Amino acid sequence: MDHVLHLRCLVCGAEYRPDEIDYVCPKHGPSDGVLDVVYDYERISATRESVAASPEPGMWRYRPLLPVESDSAVPPLLVGDTPLYDAPRVAAELGLARVWVKDEGRQPTASLKDRASAMAVVKADERGLDVITTASTGNAAAALSGVCASTGRANVIFVPASAPPAKVAQLLAYGSRVFSVDGSYDDAFELCLQAAEAHGWYNRNTGMNPYMSEGKKTAAYEFAEQLGWTVPDAVFVGVGDGCIIGGLHKGFRDLLALGWIERVPRLYGVQAKGSRYLAEAWERGEDVLTKPPAPAETIADGIASGLPRDRLKAMAAVTETGGAFVTVDDGQILDAIPALARKTGVFGEPAAAAAYAGLLGAVEGRLVGADDRVAVLNTGNGLKNVAAARQAADRLGAAPTLIAPSLDALDRALAEKEGP
């Protein structure tokens, strides 16, 4: 890993060798001391052509840009290579130059978190640790659980008791040891930290583990590669802990440093009104190192975070790119599920559809306009939370029509409502 210079504390700038430290800056501890992986870009000899031609599967074709050894084995599940769809009907309706939707619901466990969890399994292997643990609102857990199942590795999961049943079902099917914590995601996080330390488990937790945003940054690489090494003008993404948006920022910055792209897109972080820690800090110019935890109540479980663990990276992503934080209420999030699905065929869970709801708000607020080529990151599959999707349909009055199994009954029903 001689292309990795060091791990740098985002608070005090202290630098650590990767073999010296696994998680946070010891001077600041688990809540604040988030580390950034710093590269010596001169030592990266890969080119746009060489990554495109790499035989490595999915996200691992960017291995020369990732903080892993050149010979570390990677898990067999195919992570990455998710489709980027053009959405001309959305662009026309919103008056934007172009709209794309990148569908991370197509990942093996159906969310973007597979990118980070695959990275966690490789890093745990490099460290020679047998058990991996994480706290999660559900998707990071399902991702870790699935990737671990693919390599036969033990893992221990902490989710809030409110996690959607589909995500918990994934954990049980994959055979994880699952603890359903009687409390919030933030409570599950604290318990997981203590457990990791007490039992010597490898800790995948967002914010604690500096490599998670490094896995997620591969989504930015794919955006650029899929657009012929150009970038959108603006990218919209749902934000809870801030690891995804921080990862996107890192990915685009890597490519800029390597000279593979010419600029970094504006990054727009979309938060729920009921879990708006980062949006509030950004609007008020508050210091996220001193701002106390805020409420985290939203139907979009993936973006419910009272103390966003990657808040430093998330704030930098928005401020340094000239983007913004926008907030949407739960009604707007629910309505965005069928709105996106009907115009693109992409079915997102609430935390994912929030990004689309944020785009709609940003168009109204003129944060984006006719000159902008905009991308929306659909971070998780709609099947992750079927109850929310049905609630969204109910709000539209959309329901199946119950009929007797006969053509007569069908024709009567069709006659009542014009067209199929």
Binding site for Zn ion (CB under 5 A): 9, 11-12, 14, 25, 27-28
| Distance, CA of 388 to CA of 378 (rounded, Å) | 16
412 binds, among ligand PLP, Zn ion, none (CB under 5 to 8 A by kind): none
The residue type found at 287 is D
414 binds, among ligand PLP, Zn ion, none (CB under 5 to 8 A by kind): none
**Distances from the Cα of 203 to the Cαs of 10, 324, 416, in angstroms?**
20, 31, 58
Secondary structure (3-state) at 101:
strand
Q: In this chain, which of 82, 107, 109, 111 binds ligand PLP, going by CB under 6 A?
A: 111
Give the CA dihedral 370, 342, 328, 187, nearest 10 degrees. Answer: -130
Query: How many helices and strands, by DSSP H and E, does the chain display?
Result: 16, 13
∠ CA 162-163-165, rounded to 5°? 110
Q: Which stretch binds ligand PLP (CB under 6 A): 49-57, 67-75, 145-153, 347-355?
A: 347-355
Determine, following the binding rule CB under 6 A, whether residue 108 of this chain makes contact with ligand PLP. no
Q: Which stretch binds ligand PLP (CB under 6 A): 72-80, 136-144, 145-153, 193-201?
A: 136-144
238 binds, among Zn ion, ligand PLP, none (CB under 5 to 8 A by kind): ligand PLP
Q: Which stretch binds ligand PLP (CB under 6 A): 19-27, 137-145, 150-158, 186-194?
A: 137-145
Give the count of residues interacting with ligand PLP (CB under 6 A). Answer: 19
Determine, following the binding rule CB under 6 A, whether residue 302 of this chain makes contact with ligand PLP. yes
Strands of the sheet with 202-203, listed across from one edge: 177-181, 154-160, 131-135, 202-203
Q: In this chain, which of 244, 281, 336, 388 binds ligand PLP, going by CB under 6 A?
A: 244
| Distance, CA of 403 to CA of 415 (rounded, Å) | 13
Contacts of 151-154 with C-beta under 8 Å, sequence gap 24+, read 151/75, 151/76, 151/121, 153/121, 153/124, 154/130
Work out how close the CB of 238 gets to ligand PLP at its nearest, in angstroms, rounded to a whole number.
4
Determine, following the binding rule CB under 6 A, whether residue 242 of this chain makes contact with ligand PLP. yes
Determine, following the binding rule CB under 6 A, whether residue 238 of this chain makes contact with ligand PLP. yes
Determine, following the binding rule CB under 6 A, whether residue 240 of this chain makes contact with ligand PLP. yes
Binding mask 192-211 for ligand PLP (x = CB under 6 A): --------------x-----
Cβ proximity of 206 and 117 under 8 Å? no
Determine, following the binding rule CB under 6 A, whether residue 243 of this chain makes contact with ligand PLP. yes
Cβ proximity of 131 and 157 under 8 Å? no
306: closest CA among 319, 298, 316, 295?
Answer: 295
What is the β-pairing status of strands 15-16 and 234-238? unpaired
Determine, following the binding rule CB under 6 A, whether residue 139 of this chain makes contact with ligand PLP. yes
Both tokens of residue 248?
């996107």
Q: Which stretch binds ligand PLP (CB under 6 A): 24-32, 152-160, 235-243, 327-335?
A: 235-243
∠ CA 407-412-414, rounded to 5°? 90
11 binds, among Zn ion, ligand PLP, none (CB under 5 to 8 A by kind): Zn ion
Binding mask 360-399 for ligand PLP (x = CB under 6 A): -------------------xx-------------------
242 binds, among Zn ion, ligand PLP, none (CB under 5 to 8 A by kind): ligand PLP
| Distance, CA of 8 to CA of 2 (rounded, Å) | 16
Closer residue to ligand PLP in complex, CB, 274/380:
380
Closer residue to ligand PLP in complex, CB, 306/380:
380
Work out how close the CB of 32 gets to Zn ion at its nearest, in angstroms, rounded to a whole number.
8
Determine, following the binding rule CB under 6 A, whether residue 157 of this chain makes contact with ligand PLP. no
Closer residue to ligand PLP in complex, CB, 150/385:
385
Site for ligand PLP in 26-65 (CB under 6 A): none
14 binds, among Zn ion, ligand PLP, none (CB under 5 to 8 A by kind): Zn ion
Work out how close the CB of 244 gets to ligand PLP at its nearest, in angstroms, rounded to a whole number.
4
∠ CA 398-403-409, rounded to 5°? 120
H/E element, 378: strand 373-378
What is the β-pairing status of strands 266-272 and 324-328? parallel
Q: Which residues of the shown chain bind ligand PLP in the complex (CB under 6 A)? A: 111, 137, 139-140, 206, 238-244, 302-303, 349, 351-352, 379-380
